[in-house]
Structure 1
Amino acid sequence: MRIHTSAMVLAGLLAAATACDGSGSASTGDGTGARRLKVVATTTQVADFARDIGGDKVKVTQLLKPNVDPHDYEPSPADIQAIAEADVVVENGVRLERWLDQTIKSAGFHGTLVDTSKGVPIRKGDGTEEEAAGDPHIWHDPKNAELMSRNIAAAFEATDPSGKAAYAANLASYTTKLDRLDSWIAQQIGTLPAGRRELVTNHDAFGYYIDRYHLTFVGSIIPSFDTSAELSGKRLDALVAKIKATGVKAIFSESSLPPKTAEAIGKQAGVKVEAGEESLYGDTLGPAGSAGATYIDMERHNTTTIVTALKG
């Protein structure tokens, strides 16, 4: 992944990384005299977790913007500067952020790096190089989201021991919300007849959701965990045939991917395509005010969209 920086920019970043607030800390104030951890979070999902766990004790800089595909991201000089100044960097892990290692090196970061995937059972890939690390879309199971949040809380507590009680309380509160979400999704999926629990998506991003709620994955337009994988006409023809054979009720487009190919496949197969506002949030949350503005909003929107479409 290319990183466009100049010697002058990097020099400025290193100077910023060593700057502090007079106490030797890289933390920032909130105007009340309290100190907040400087946190950089890579993806929209882990940034949302970090904000919930950190509360008013952290200042979160989110690198990826809503509806930006994380598989093919190119960090900016501003991203490098934010990492250079951070106390904690939070990543999804499972090689979703393939660009992060070089970015951290360029920034001269020496704080705490949190791999939120630690302890999460990872779905295996298909044996190809691009899927060697396994399926990175771990957040689509709320139980994995709990583990990810716990990893974030542990890092915040280790970096800022004085805030341990607050981080623990926030984690407990958020875990309760995730448990409720998990139960709600299971109940909603349970309303689908057994023969209507089949998914076709833009790319293979919903495996953890499918496993958790006992759905059947028929196929994806991009047959890979990675959205940058090449399309194959032969594979697309095979997917159309499979859709017709299984009686799938809908194809689900994704908010961060163009719907054109999904719509073409839907036309050939004679099934509805859920696109536009009814797209699923796969790799990214939506912007503020959207149906996918937070992780919990995203999973509720996805579930409602899936259940409504599959009921026909």
Structure 2
Amino acid sequence: MDSRRWARVVTFAVLLMTLAGPGATGTGAQGSPAAGAEGRLEVAVTFSILADLVANVGGDAVTVSVLVPAGGDAHTFEPSPDDITVIEGADLLFENGLGFEPWLDDLYGASASAAERVVVTEGLDLIEAGSEGEDDHSEDGNGHADEGDGHADEGDGQADDDDDHGDGEHDPHVWHDVANAMAMTGTIRDALSRVDPANAATYAANAELALASLTALDAFVVTEVAKLPEDRRKLVTSHDTFAYFARRYGFEVVGTALSSMSTESGDPSAQQIAELVDAIDA
């Protein structure tokens, strides 16, 4: 497989990951809100990829409001007064945690919201910041997902009110491993069911469909990666975001243009660019 075809495969896989499941595609999702649109559970979600996962599970039973829209940058996002209103009216607030939304604690406090905060990364096998996924737990390519239950603590996925909702010590880009997206789906399902038990069967059915789609996606990526020689399984990215993808699917992160997991770091120096070019050429 040549490099251009492989680039298309990776792009296609990432797009599928964000869209996989019934809620995002508009087919197959079930929902039975108590009183039409007004009876739907109001859910706020911090960024668009997580919003897709929530919509897949919630279907027609929830109204999803996204704080950082598609194409936005959660690292540098600046909330507006409208975002305070969104959180204030929410029954649930889904967040990534791990320092991915550094503005969220202040925004939540300013809103005086009573929404339960659900940190979807709790219980996952996290990668320490800067380790670039070299601690590989997926050598056999079999994955580590278990129908969305294995990583989340009893599906609670909720943060302690006294906890800092992001430690900044771990890579927050967990969704690039499809198995993590599956675990997050299980956490979302359980949180929605806990807050809205009348629609628990709906959330369970939608989650089952979403998990089936994600399982197929994971198998697709494993199959396609197997076609690429091991010595060509290398990644260079703008900033350090693909450690989970690299760990799961057997890639090496050769280098990044920005020496940070956040886009907030300064532009690379000429020496850093030269070193990156040397690493790519090696």
TM-score (normalizing by structure 1): 0.66
Compare the two structures and name the one with the higher helix fraction: 1
> 2:47 aligns to what?
43
Deviation track 1:45-97 (CA, whole Å, cap 9, x = no partner) reads 11001100000000000111111111111111111000001000111111100
Relative distance call for 1:140 and 1:81 in structure 2 (3 A) is same
**CA positional deviation for 1:133:** 2.3
Counterpart code for 1:205: T
> 2:75 aligns to what?
71
- 8 Å CA contact 2:75–2:100 kept in 1: the answer is yes
2:237 is equivalent to residue 233 of structure 1: no
Among candidates 216, 226, 232, match of residue 196 of structure 1: 232
CA distance in 1, matches of 2:83, 2:36: 27
Q: Which runs of 5+ in 2 are unaligned?
A: 1-32, 132-165
> 1:172 aligns to what?
208
Identity within the alignment, %: 35
> 1:244 aligns to what?
281
Among candidates 150, 155, 161, match of residue 197 of structure 2: 161
Among candidates 168, 180, 183, match of residue 147 of structure 1: 183
**Aligned residues between the structures:** 215
> 1:85 aligns to what?
89
CA distance in 1, matches of 2:167, 2:97: 13
CA distance in 2, matches of 1:33, 1:91: 24
Larger Rg: 1
- 8 Å CA contact 1:112–1:155 kept in 2: the answer is no
Counterpart code for 2:238: N
Q: Which runs of 4+ in 1 moved over 4 A?
A: none
**CA positional deviation for 1:33:** 7.2
CA distance in 2, matches of 1:174, 1:126: 31
**CA positional deviation for 1:204:** 0.8
Counterpart code for 1:227: T
- 8 Å CA contact 2:87–2:115 kept in 1: the answer is no
Relative distance call for 1:233 and 1:117 in structure 2 (3 A) is same
CA distance in 1, matches of 2:281, 2:38: 61
CA distance in 2, matches of 1:194, 1:207: 17
- 8 Å CA contact 2:84–2:107 kept in 1: the answer is yes
CA distance in 1, matches of 2:273, 2:169: 25
**CA positional deviation for 1:126:** 3.7
Q: Which runs of 5+ in 1 are unaligned?
A: 1-28, 246-312
**CA positional deviation for 1:34:** 6.8
Relative distance call for 1:136 and 1:34 in structure 2 (3 A) is same
Deviation track 1:239-276 (CA, whole Å, cap 9, x = no partner) reads 1111111xxxxxxxxxxxxxxxxxxxxxxxxxxxxxxx
Q: Higher relative CO (CA 8 A, sep ≥ 6), structure 1 or 2? A: 2
Deviation track 1:156-189 (CA, whole Å, cap 9, x = no partner) reads 1111111111111111111111110000001111
- Aligned pairs for 1:1-312 within 5 A: 32=36, 35-126=39-130, 132-230=168-266, 231-245=268-282
- 8 Å CA contact 1:40–1:82 kept in 2: the answer is yes
More deviation, 87-96/228-237: 228-237
Secondary structure of the equivalent of 1:47? Answer: helix
CA distance in 1, matches of 2:273, 2:123: 35
TM-score (normalizing by structure 2): 0.73
CA distance in 2, matches of 1:52, 1:69: 22
CA distance in 1, matches of 2:70, 2:214: 21
- CA RMSD between the two structures: 1.9
